[in-house]
Amino acid sequence: MVAGAASTGGAEVVLHRVSKRYGKVIAVSDIDLHISPGEFVLVSGRSGSGKSTLLNLIGGLETPDTGEVLLDGAQVWRGRHLPEHRRTLVGFVFQHHLLLPVLSARANVEVPLIGAGVGRRERAQRALELLEEVSLSDRAEHRPDQLSGGERQRVAVARALVNEPRLLLADEPTGALDTATAERLLNLLAGIRERHRTTVIMVSYDPLVGKRADRTLQMIDGRLGAAARSGDGAGTAPATSRVRSERPTTTA
């Protein structure tokens, strides 16, 4: 169950020379990266610099053109097939929650468990546990249109965590939220991360995230710039804008 995730800890993420292009646009260019189990990594950089593509490659939503992505030493893609283990290894939270509008909060949280073959009663029980973890027990039977933006995003977090993933990928999860709601969501994620020792890779412009992350990675035109420990101002390095404007290979 949920508590069991603590014993497994977070996943290790390794990228070897990973590239991805869309037509003429090189979205991700020759990236090498190592993220240790349990690390909280912030990915920052301008719009169009390749942050979402990087996350999608790590999570197996996109195939790399070259190079390999390894989660706990195993390739995310084998040929064109996603191995079964990937489904339970990775949880995703997007900027827009992407909840199914006709389903209740509880049923939305259950969706990943259906794919994993979990029976109906256990699904409901696990979904309710997760909703409790994000303080939404009393909204379990509400549909997304009956929830606030922050509540919907918390449902999305619960859904991302219901499979007890060892890697949580979050792409601007607070981007559509006001400051106070964003802070609540980040507190929630920090608590979950601490309890389950989940590896977290998050794309965000939120300065609060930069303060909390173990490390900040700067994406510049599909490449990784200087990585630095958080708290030393790396997340706002002004040199980024100059480098980027000299190399206009991507569109925002």
| By the rule CB under 5 A, 44 interacts with Mg ion | no
Q: Where are the beta strands (DSSP E) in the chain?
A: 13-22, 25-35, 40-44, 66-71, 74-75, 90-93, 167-171, 199-203, 215-220, 223-224, 228-229
- Residue in 5, 27, 185, 220 binding ligand ADP, rule: CB under 6 A: 27
| By the rule CB under 6 A, 52 interacts with ligand ADP | yes
Q: How far is the CB of 217 from ligand ADP (least distance, A)?
A: 12
Q: Contact region for Mg ion (CB under 5 A) — 11-19, 31-39, 52-60, 225-233?
A: 52-60
Site for ligand ADP (CB under 6 A): how many residues? 14
Contacts of 28 (CB under 8 A, 6+ apart): 18, 19, 20, 50, 53, 54, 57, 64, 222
| By the rule CB under 6 A, 22 interacts with ligand ADP | yes
| By the rule CB under 5 A, 52 interacts with Mg ion | yes
Q: Contact region for Mg ion (CB under 5 A) — 20-28, 51-59, 80-88, 175-183?
A: 51-59
| By the rule CB under 6 A, 48 interacts with ligand ADP | yes
| By the rule CB under 6 A, 244 interacts with ligand ADP | no
Q: At what angle do helices 120-133 and 149-161 cross, to 10 degrees?
A: 130
* SS3 (DSSP) at 147: coil
| By the rule CB under 6 A, 251 interacts with ligand ADP | yes
9: closest CA among 222, 219, 167? 167
| By the rule CB under 5 A, 250 interacts with Mg ion | no
For ligand ADP, the closer of residues 198 and 250 by Cβ is 250
Contacts of 133 (CB under 8 A, 6+ apart): 2, 158, 161, 192
| By the rule CB under 6 A, 218 interacts with ligand ADP | no
Residues 88-147 that bind Mg ion (CB under 5 A): none
97: closest CA among 20, 192, 174, 36? 174
Q: How far is the CB of 55 from ligand ADP (least distance, A)?
A: 8
113: closest CA among 122, 101, 104? 122
Interface with ligand ADP (CB under 6 A): 22, 25, 27, 45, 47-53, 219, 250-251
Interface with Mg ion (CB under 5 A): 52
